[in-house]
Structure formats: C-alpha cells, structure tokens
Amino acid sequence: GPSSYPMPRQTVDLMRSAPTLPPEDALRLFVRNALTPGAPEELVRRILALRLANPFDPEGWQAQAAAGATFDALDRLALVQAPTLVLTGTEDVVVDPRNSELLAEGIADSRLERVTGGHLFFWEDPTRFVTEVKEFLR
C-alpha cells in the first residue's frame, strides 16, 4: 500500500527485462536475485533444478507479483488476534525488509526476527529458520 516500502529497484528492473530473456536464463537471474550476493553456486543450482522440475504457472506468478505490488492490508493488521512470527531476510531485494517492521508494528502480539539472507533466507540458513519457527511454536 501507499505507506509500505516499494519493491526494490533491482527486482523491478529484473521483472521488466525477464520477458526478453530465454526462460531458463530469466529463472536463474530470479533465483540469484532472491539470494544474497555471493550465495553458493551449488545453492543456486539446487533451487534452479527444483524450479525447473516443478514449473510454476506464469499467470499465477504474474498475479502474485501484481498482488504483492498493490495489495494493502496495513489498516487491518490490528484485527489479527493470533500470536504472529514475522521473519525477514536482512538483505531481501524482492520485498523490502522494512515492510516486515510495518507488519510487526501493526500486529499486537507479534515478534519480528531478522535472518541474515535474502528473500530465500530459509534456503540460505535453514537451521536458523527452523529454530525460529520451533521456538515460536513452543
């Protein structure tokens, strides 16, 4: 929404250029973009192989991107009555991590945890991700 932080420029630029690229090249760039710079090439290959083996619906992906860019529920966050864990990658360039702060501020019984990593921080540091979720669910 209007009081949220916009999608970082490098992701917007990637989304604009992707249709001009061969699909596998575009997908590789999206995977790299969703990880922190310098993420291990083996991790990029694993995620890319998974994505290629399980292709997503392009219309669904476009709808998700449009919803992410335009959906605004900040004024309704106070209605959330369940304890909430908000996790974010500190170096996320797909969704500005400051939006996680807005979520945590708007949900009364929430906890914000910042995990070193990009948009796919749960791939980059699965141990930390699982630990945070387990601790929250206790």
- pLDDT value of residue 128: 96
- For 80-138, write each residue's pLDDT tens digit: 999 999 999 999 999 999 999 999 999 999 999 999 999 999 999 999 999 999 999 99
Strand partners, 87: 113
Cα 97 from Cα 53, distance rounded (Å) = 29
Instruction: Tell me, yes or no, if the pTM score tops 0.85.
Output: yes
Q: Are 12 and 5 in contact (CB under 8 A)?
A: no
Tell me the CA distances in angstroms from 82 to 74, 77, 79, 109, one per residue in order.
Answer: 16, 11, 9, 7
- pLDDT value of residue 57: 84
- For 42-62, write each residue's pLDDT tens digit: 999 999 999 999 988 878 878
